[in-house]
Every structure is written in structure tokens, then in C-alpha cells.
Structure 1
């Protein structure tokens, strides 16, 4: 059964191919529809298959024409008009546009001029110096394309956390409903909340493994069975592979620890165990102090743990280590010393300081966004629409005069709101680190989020200096999505997170963990480096409509990967402390 993410992906492809074909206006409408379908909280295909097509009327940007295509896709697995467009432009548009600087229009031009359809075609043309001969291109562009091909191939094999985790939740809900399942959990990189994952791994404790496997491959949501056996099976749901492994209940904890990883964490933990005459593997924790050297095997020794994951760590005298920390970045030493952080949790978040409305590129009104934030139980909320500047899609940024008008509009709505509302702006950090706002505008605002949207190909030294210049600006409260990366699309700026964290700590500027699942920027290791320098962190959604305020889930887990505690995150602070920080 098609997921919301899968349906949205078809309309993203539609938009890309239309743009590649030089069609105006329609691509933006399709992208807006795709974003809203992706964010819709209810599985659309389920409702349509139950005969409830009216659910599409609830989705902003989905009119009659797009609705009919959604229904067509759910019912048939394809969209005739999209298939015709694919035949007209047989381009692997998703792969090719993952190369930074190659958008749909460029892909379309390269197809028309050189017949380029795939990454292999593109690589061959670049190696033969054919691209620089096309009008509008040159040797530097060709070099950049050549350099980006490896990155495009690598990310093309991974799924966004925000697309895969909802499926993982559905998998768990299905498995928990099976009578033969005693316990189940996801494992692998998705349990560690990595920004991208290869596939969804699930683990089940049961004494009826073959029965569970049979039910799993017969699940209604399965699009294809890849393989199955008595202990494991693999299926495909939409474009995502799901691997299931079944174990006996007494080995569930050890298997969960083993298959969660990471590999580096497990190697370090096994070495820690060896030093204490212990052995760890997927079958349990074993005391091997009395074994003869000749005795080998996975289950040899005195088994002292394995039923629970916490027991595996306890057998080594360690507290349970949260999955987000298991990357071999000092977590075992911290556990041994009693220094593991008390990680920030979703319930610690009191508000969101970076979101958008219809004043720039958002989809709804100021009032609707504030109401949605209040319904989430937030104590405060910040509107931060785009200011004018380079890199803003479609020129949707506000000039100074409109920013001042919006501040008045925000104040008017805020007067009747049940929560504290901050009037903000998302300013643009130019190539030199300046934000380009007038003093009058700066004085009128409560919060300024400064973000990079252009010149994202700078070298690391230049990028670091640029970002430090921005955080040193006394007007800037939060440095938004510092690298400017878009997962599976562009790598963004490379910079020294330690140096940036030090500057942010010195000047009282928060570094953002942008919760949009296409960004998750800062990422775990960068958050950890910044926190070690004393920098404050702000977790924000960059929401463009009420439903995407739920992106906070991804940002919180990303901050947890960086060892963030509640006190490190300004969104958890009391209002009085937050106001003092912002002013």
C-alpha cells in the first residue's frame, strides 16, 4: 500500500520533470501538494481504499486535478500523465539532481543537448569534456558535476529518517498486534536515529518464529517479498526495504544490542568486555574467565545476560547507553565514569522559534500557525519568515518595509493568543557573513534567525569565518541550519564545528538543529563539538504549515545524538530566561 511519502515522491518527480521541460507555475503547485501530502498525519491511501476520497479535500494545495492523480496512483500504482512525461523525458531525474548545482532545468538541458539520461551518461560526458561545450556551461561547472557524481550515487542508496521512521512505526504496530510476538523493536541506524538509513531493521522475540515470518510477508502493506526463511525475512514497502529477524525471547536483549550497532560502538564494547574476561555477541554476555584457550564458539562460557538489553551493559558494570549515543564517540568511557548525559526529550520542549507563514513561503496564516503551536501545548512560539536575500526560492523574501508590516500583524494576533509569541525573521547570511537588515527592523524584532541559503560551495576555512562572523553579530539570536545542507540533495558547507561552537558560546548565539527531515542540520557530531565549547542549542522545525510542527521529533533525536541535555537547549528554558537570552 502506498505511503504518504511514496505518493509525495511521485508529485516531486512530476514537478522535477515539468521543470526540466521548461513548464512554468505547475512545478511549484506540485511541490506544494507533495509537501502537504508528505506531512499529512493520516495514511491517505488507507482512507482512499476505504472509499473516503474526501480526505484529499483536507489537504491544502490538492485541488481536483491533483486529487484525481492521487486516486489514480493509489488504485493503479501509476499515473498515466506521469508515465507519458517519463517517456518524453527519460531522465533519472532524482539521481541526476542530487548533484549540487544540477537542478531539473539543467538536467532537461543536458538531456536535450547531449542525450544524458543517467548518472553513468553524465559521468561519461564529463570525462569526455562534452558538458563544457554546451552553451551556459564551462570547465568549472563540468568539474563540479564530475566531483558530485560519487556523492549522488552514495546518497541515492539511503532513505531519509523522516520517511523511513514512520514506516518503522507502522511495522512495529503490526508486529505488536501478532499474538505470537512477545517483544519487538527496531534496530540498526533507524534506532540510533541517523539522518539517513539504508533500510528498516526490526527484531522480534518469539517462540513461534516461522509463524511470525509468515504473517510478516503476508502483511497488507507489503509491495514485494524479497526473501524469507525460518529466522529472517525481507520485504519492500514502497521504495523501502524492511528486514525482520526473529529470536527466542531469552536472546532478545543481546540481539537488540548487537543489531542496533553501530559497528564502531560494538567493537569498542566487545574490547571493553574482553579486558574484563567477558564475551559479548548477539546470543548474550558470557563470562569466559574460566575457559580454556581451546574452547571456542558463540555460546561458550557462563552466560550472565541476554534477555534484556540493559542486562548486557549491566554485565559489564555499565549503565544502559541510549541508542543515539552508540557511535564510539566517548560514550563507553562516559558510562564507566558515570558521566552519561541526561538527554533532552520531546516533552522538555516548550516552544519553536523558527517557522514560516504565507507571508513568505509558508502555506498558512500567522494565526493558524500560532493556534497550532498552542494546541501542541507550547508556551511560546516564534514566526520567522524569510527576509530578502540570495538563495531564497522564488524571491519569496520580505523587504524591510514588509517585515515591519508583518511585525505589526504578529503583535495583533499575539495579543489574543494564549501563548507567548515572538516576532522574528529568518535573515540571510551572505557570503561574507552579513545579514543585511536595517537597524529599524532589528530593533522591531524579538528574534533573528540567520541562515545560509547561497554560496554553499565555499571551502571550509572561508565557510567557518563566514559563520563565525554571523554568530558574532549582536543582532543574531540563532544561527539557522548552519551548513545549508539538504540531505540526499546537496552536502552544504563544510566548517569547523568546534571553532563555531566556541564563537557561539562567547557571543551568546544559539546554533540551530533544524528539524526538517531533509536538513537535520546541525547533526549529531557537530552538536557534540559545539556543546563541548559551551554553545547553546536551539531545536526548531522550520515549519511551513501546522502539520510540520511535528518535525520537532526529528530535531530532538538529532540533538540527542549530539549529547544535548535540556539545559543546553534554549527551547526548554523558562520564558523569563529565554526572553533574557533573546534580548
Structure 2
């Protein structure tokens, strides 16, 4: 059965192939649909199987034509028009566009001019100095492409959290539906909510291991069985590998702790256990204080824990640690000292300070976005469309005059809304750390998010000087996606999160956790470093449609990886407290 992530990927591919062929308008429509499909809370394939065409077409950006393609893909596994586009442009679009600076149009041009189809072809063309000879390119572009190919190869095997976690949720739902499964949970990096993952690891507790394995490899969503045995199996669902391990119920807690990791966390925890006469492994916690040969077997000594994961930590006198914290960044000492953070939850989020509308590159009106925010139960909400400036996609940034016109419309919509609506803007932090807004505009706005969109290849010293200058600007409330990275596409600026956090704290400027799964910027360790310096964090979605307001899920877990508590997060504050913070 096709997952939402798989469907979204097909329509992103549609958009890329059309853009590569210089088709206007349609690519944006397909991207809008892909975004909504990927964020849809329920399996769209279920709507197809139920014959609920109306519900499919009600999905934002879908409509009749795209809805028909969704049905075609779910029922047949292909979309005929997409197959034809692939035949016309036989390139590995996903691999090629992972190279920073190579977009769909570049792929189309290099295919037509140099027959570049794969990363290997691209590398060979660059090394032979052929790209610089193509009209519109040059030696510098060619060199940048060549330098970025190794990074594209490195990240090619990892999937975005926002793509893999919905699949993991589907796997869990399937396993929970099996009567023989007593408990199940994801493990590994996906349970720790890392921004990218290699594969989906799942654990199931049962006394009927072979039956569960057989059911798993026969699941409708499975495309290929990679391997299987009496107590484990690996399959491919779409483009993602899913590994199932089956354990007996009394060892589920130990296995869950062990296979969640991280490796560094587990090594430190095992050493902590050894100092206390205990041995930890995937089968349980064992008292080996009276055992001479601790290595005589995995189950040597008296078993004191293993049924539950919490019990594994309790056996060591430690609090249970949320999976997001298990990166060996001080969580074991904090658990021992009873100082673990009271982490942020989705329910703590009271609003969103960075979203877009059709005034710039969003897909919906101000009215529609405000209504969607109200449905989220928010107390407050900000429209922050792009101001014009370097790096803004497609020249869609607003002039000062347009910003002032939009402020008027935001005020009108806000007057009738069930929540506080802030008039904001996403300004551009240029290479020197400045923003190009007039004083009239600054005075008219409630919230200014300032983000780097260009000069993202600066060295670390220049980048940090630039961003610190930005947070010192009294007009700026939030520094948006501070590194400018795009996961699996570009690395972004090399920032010193501690230095940036110190400057932000001194100037009452929040640092953003951009919840878009392609960004997750800041990331866990950077959030922790910034919070340690006293900085406030803003968990924003950067939503471009109502569906993508759901991206807050990824932002919350990313903030949790940085030890963020509600008091650290501006949009978890009461309205009046937030008002006092805004400049």
C-alpha cells in the first residue's frame, strides 16, 4: 500500500521533471500538492481504497486532476504520465539535485547538452571541464558542482525524519493490529528523532515470533523482502528499509533500551552499570557482583530488570531518560542528580511566529492560514512572508510598499479572528548581517524574523560575525533557520551555537528551530548550546500551507533533542509574556 511519503515523492518528482522541461506554473501546483500529501494526518491510500474521492480532492492543492493521479498510483503502482516524463528525461533526478547548486532546470540543461544522467556522469563532465562550456555556466559553477558531489553521495542513503517517521507510524499501526503482538515500538535513530535516518528499526514483543515475522513480510505495504529469519526480518517499503526484530515479552524493555541507542549513550551507561556491579545488554540488567567471569554468557548473574525500559534505568538508580536525550551529552549525570529537563511537548506550543501566504511564496490566503492556525488551538499566530532581498526564491519577496499593504490586510483579518494575529515579515540577513527594511516598515510590524538565504558558503568566522550582528539588531525578534542548511541538499553555514546563543540572550533575540523537515535548523546539539547560554528558542513551522502547520511535530522533537523546556521557547509563553519579548 502506498504511503503518504511515497505519494508525496512521486508528485515532487512530477514537479522536478516539469521544471527541468521549462514548464511554467504546473511545477508549483505539484509541489503544493506534494507538501499537503506528505503532511496529511491519515493514510491517503485508505481514502482511495474506500472510494472516497471527495475527501481526496478536498486535500489542499489536490483537486480532480491530481486526485485522479493519486488513485491511479495507489491502484496500479504507477502514474502513466509520470512514466512518460521519465522516458523523455531519463535522469536520476533525486541524486543529481542533492548536489548543491544543481536544480531541476540545471539537470534538464546538462542532460540535453551533455547527456548527464547520473552523479557519475555529472562528476565526469565536471572533471573534463565540459560544464563550463555550456551556455549559462562557467568555471566557478563547474568547480562548485565538483566540490559538492562527495557530500551528495554521503547523504544519499539517509532519509528525512519527516519522510521516515510517518512510515514508522504505519508499521507500528500494522504490528499493533496483530493479536499475537503484545507490545511494539520503534528503536534506533528514528526513536531518538534524529533529523535523518538510515532505516526504520522496529521491535515487537510476542511469544509467536515466526507468525509475526510471516505477517510482517506479507504486509500489503511491503515492496520487497530483503531477508527474514525466525525472529527478525528486513523489507523495503517504498525507498526505505524497515528492520523488524522480535523478542519475548519479558525482554522487551531491555531490547528497547539497547536498540534505541545511541551507541555513545549505551557505552557510557554500560560503564556506569559496571561500576555498580551490574551488566546491561539486550536481554536485561544482571547483578554480576558475585560472578567471576562476566563474559561467560549474555545472561550471566541474577536478572534484576528487563521487562520494561524504565526498569533498566531504575536498576541503576536512574530516572528514565526520554529517547531524544540519549546522545551522551550529560543526560546520565543529570538523571543521577535528578536534574533532567522537563521537556517541551506539542501541547505546550501556543502559536507560530513564522508562516507564509500567497503574498510571497505560500499557497494560501491570509484568511485561510489564520483559520488553519485557529484550528490548531493557537493563542497567537504570525504571518511572516518574504521581504525582497538576496536569495529569495523566484523573486517573490515583498517591497516595502507591499509589506505595508499586507499589514493592513493582516490587521483586518486579525480583527475578526479567534486568536491574536501578528503582522510579521521574514527579512533577509545579507552577507554583512544587515536587513533591508525601512524604518516605516519596521515600525509597522509586530514580528521580524530575519533569515540567511544567500552567501551560505561563508567561512565560519564570517558567518558567525554576520549572524551575531543580526541578533544584535534591535529590530529583529527571531533569527530564522540560522545556518540556512537544507538536509540532504546543502550543509549551510558553520555556526558557533554557543557564541550565537550568548549574543541572542544579551539582545533578547530568539533563535529559531525551523520545523520544516528539510531544515530542522537549529538542531539538537545547537539548541542545547544556545539554551545553556540563556538564549530563547522559537519553534516555528515556516508553513506555506495549512497542512504544513503540522510540521510543528518535527520542531518540537528537535527542540527536545536540545533539552528545551517550555520556559525556553517563546511560542510556548503566554501572550502577554511574548508581547513583552517582541521588540
* Range class of TM-score, shorter chain: over 0.9
Deviates more, 1:168-177 or 1:531-540: 168-177
Pairwise CA distance, 1:452: 1.3
The count of residues paired between Structure 1 and Structure 2 equals: 583
Pairwise CA distance, 1:69: 2.5
After superposition, where does 1:98-137 map in structure 2 within 5 Å?
98-137=98-137
1:551 aligns with 2:551: yes
Deviates more, 1:351-360 or 1:468-477: 351-360
CA distance in 2, matches of 1:88, 1:41: 34
1:240 aligns with 2:212: no
Q: Deviations over 1:149-203 (max 9, x none)?
A: 1211122111111111111112112211211111111101110000111111111
Counterpart contact for 1:228–1:234, Cα < 8 Å? yes
Q: Deviations over 1:273-305 (max 9, x none)?
A: 122222111011111111113751111112111
Pairwise CA distance, 1:56: 3.2
Q: Deviations over 1:551-575 (max 9, x none)?
A: 1111000000001111110111111
CA distance in 2, matches of 1:134, 1:34: 32
Q: Secondary structure at the match of 2:41?
A: coil
The answer for the alignment partner of 2:31 in structure 1 is 31
Q: Secondary structure at the match of 2:522?
A: coil
Pairwise CA distance, 1:477: 0.2
Q: Secondary structure at the match of 2:549?
A: helix
Q: Secondary structure at the match of 2:213?
A: helix
After superposition, where does 1:41-56 map in structure 2 within 5 Å?
41-56=41-56
1:503 aligns with 2:503: yes
After superposition, where does 1:338-487 map in structure 2 within 5 Å?
338-487=338-487
After superposition, where does 1:57-206 map in structure 2 within 5 Å?
57-206=57-206
After superposition, where does 1:307-318 map in structure 2 within 5 Å?
307-318=307-318
Counterpart contact for 1:44–1:55, Cα < 8 Å? no
Pairwise CA distance, 1:245: 0.8
Pairwise CA distance, 1:126: 2.6
Q: Secondary structure at the match of 1:234?
A: strand
Counterpart contact for 1:232–1:243, Cα < 8 Å? yes
The answer for the alignment partner of 2:572 in structure 1 is 572
Q: Secondary structure at the match of 1:448?
A: strand
Counterpart contact for 2:213–2:232, Cα < 8 Å? yes
The answer for the alignment partner of 2:291 in structure 1 is 291
CA distance in 1, matches of 2:336, 2:579: 38
Deviates more, 1:471-480 or 1:101-110: 101-110
* TM norm structure 1: 0.97
Q: Secondary structure at the match of 2:339?
A: coil
Q: Secondary structure at the match of 2:511?
A: strand
Pairwise CA distance, 1:96: 0.7
The answer for the alignment partner of 1:493 in structure 2 is 493
1:223 aligns with 2:223: yes
RMSD, matched Cα: 1.5
Counterpart contact for 2:20–2:107, Cα < 8 Å? yes
Q: Deviations over 1:350-403 (max 9, x none)?
A: 111111112222222212222222222211111111111122222221111111
CA distance in 2, matches of 1:278, 1:70: 54
Q: Deviations over 1:502-547 (max 9, x none)?
A: 1101111000001111111100011011111111000011111212
CA distance in 1, matches of 2:109, 2:412: 48
The answer for the alignment partner of 2:255 in structure 1 is 255
Pairwise CA distance, 1:140: 2.7
CA distance in 2, matches of 1:22, 1:548: 27
Counterpart contact for 2:5–2:167, Cα < 8 Å? no
The answer for the alignment partner of 1:526 in structure 2 is 526
Moved over 6 A (4+): none
CA distance in 2, matches of 1:420, 1:130: 56
Q: Deviations over 1:231-254 (max 9, x none)?
A: 111222222221111111111011
Counterpart contact for 1:357–1:385, Cα < 8 Å? yes
Counterpart contact for 1:209–1:246, Cα < 8 Å? yes
Pairwise CA distance, 1:29: 2.2
Q: Deviations over 1:431-461 (max 9, x none)?
A: 1111101101100111101111111111111
Deviates more, 1:405-414 or 1:40-49: 40-49
Structure 2, unpaired ranges of 5+: none
C-alpha distance 444-298 of structure 1, shift in aligned 2 (>3 A): same
The answer for the alignment partner of 1:279 in structure 2 is 279
1:21 aligns with 2:18: no
CA distance in 1, matches of 2:30, 2:307: 49
C-alpha distance 281-523 of structure 1, shift in aligned 2 (>3 A): same
1:323 aligns with 2:340: no
Deviates more, 1:38-47 or 1:100-109: 38-47
CA distance in 2, matches of 1:80, 1:177: 34
Deviates more, 1:84-93 or 1:505-514: 84-93
Deviates more, 1:119-128 or 1:398-407: 119-128
CA distance in 1, matches of 2:41, 2:210: 33
Q: Secondary structure at the match of 1:167?
A: helix
CA distance in 1, matches of 2:410, 2:484: 27
Deviates more, 1:345-354 or 1:83-92: 83-92
